[in-house]
Amino acid sequence: MWEKPALLIDTEKVQRNIENMLRKAIENRLIFRPHFKTHQSADIGDIFRKKGVAKITVSSVSMAKYFADNGWNDITIAFPVNLREAGEINELAERTRLNVLVDSVYSANKLAQKLENETGFFIEIDNGYHRSGLLHEDIAEIDEMVAIAEQNNPLEFKGFLTHAGNTYAAGSKKEILSIMKSAATQLQALKARYAERFPGIITSYGDTPSCSLADDLSDFDEIRPGNFVYYDVMQLLLGSCTPDDIAVAVACPVVSVYPQREELIIYGGAVHLSKEFVPNDRGAKIYGYVVRLTENRWTEPIPGAYVASLSQEHGIVKMCSEDLLKFKPGDVVGVLPVHSCLTANLLLKNRQLL
């Protein structure tokens, strides 16, 4: 067992994380459309399904196909529509209720020409994150896009969607809630402007930090958090979760022990964990926290221990001598990933459900 780096998934924690977020959605009377890009796997999807979840979000057409093949039929692809995949989108729209994201008149027009099957679209709003989306004040362009949906084509206007990725750079819960409030105000105003012409439109909001930290999400109609299913070190540092909520650890064989350097070398590198890092309080990079694996699960993080460097296959773990001397080559440590979405993506073929 654990000959090679493997993603250990604590399904009890997964269930608890899903239940907590689902409860919040129900209490706020929201559509719960969790983002499946974090886990990208049918078995974790099944856990959601057993809790009653039927609508999902993905970040690529390929992922939409994968989940459609696994029985999901109400899918939003929360990524600016890729016109080169119009053919695949059209096929998917034939067998699922599919929504895509559009952020320009150009793409909306092209899509209207290329599609044959009814496809929903959200207009993506950039609430200040400045990745993709129109600004809420880009009314002329939004007007034009909305008008396209009233023409004779298979596009159906579904509402306004934003991903508040700027919460990841926030310094406090207060700041995260303030970003959320601002996004809500923007989306609500837009919805109000078009609600008479399109009575069914909704506002859709994403991001795990907001959805984890806010109790009141009632300003929105739908939430799309994804990372919460696993959480990770980044979310821990943002305050979105406790160490005990982190539902994944990477089992990494120890290959070398250097007591004088207070370092372990593990088989677990950039191709397993990803090069995502968080800075520690002295400006050094942290690529993961370190835990001891127990018979069924893992411990709390070992105080002061962290993955300090990653090559393609090697990881360097910093650890005080006292803890370090408990390890020998051939042992295994667990690493709590900095960004579980990227780690899970790298280890899709080497997972173990606990």
Among residues 164, 202, 316, 319, the one that binds a copy of itself under rule CB under 8 A? 316
C-alpha count within 13 angstroms, C-beta hemisphere, residue 253: 10
Q: Report DSSP letters for 284-297, one per residue.
A: -EE-EEEEEB-SSS
Percent of the chain as helix, strand, coil, to the nearest 5? 35, 25, 35
The span from the CA of 184 to the CA of 196, in Å, is 19
| 313 is a contact residue toward a copy of itself (CB under 8 A) | yes
Cβ 181 to a copy of itself shortest distance, Å: 23
Neighbours of 178 (CB within 10 A): 13
Binding track over 252-271 against a copy of itself, x by CB under 8 A: -x-xxx---x---x-x--xx
Identify residues 158-217 at the interface with a copy of itself (CB under 8 A): 165
- Token pair recorded at residue 64: 């939409």
The stretch near a copy of itself (CB under 8 A) out of 46-54, 173-181, 241-249, 273-281 is 273-281
- Token pair recorded at residue 152: 């004779």
Please check whether residue 303 is in contact with residue 288, taking contact to mean a CB–CB distance below 8 angstroms.
Answer: no
> Which of 120, 125, 146 is CA-nearest to residue 64?
120
C-beta of 197 vs 275, nearer to a copy of itself: 275
Cβ 1 to a copy of itself shortest distance, Å: 8
The span from the CA of 192 to the CA of 221, in Å, is 13
C-beta of 237 vs 255, nearer to a copy of itself: 255
C-beta of 53 vs 310, nearer to a copy of itself: 310
Please check whether residue 52 is in contact with residue 19, taking contact to mean a CB–CB distance below 8 angstroms.
Answer: no
| 222 is a contact residue toward a copy of itself (CB under 8 A) | no
| 243 is a contact residue toward a copy of itself (CB under 8 A) | no
Cβ 92 to a copy of itself shortest distance, Å: 13
In the complex, the residues that contact a copy of itself under the rule CB under 8 A are 2-4, 37, 59-62, 79-85, 88, 103-104, 106-107, 110, 130-132, 165, 253, 255-257, 261, 265, 267, 270-271, 274-276, 309, 311-314, 316, 328-330, 332, 341-342, 345-346
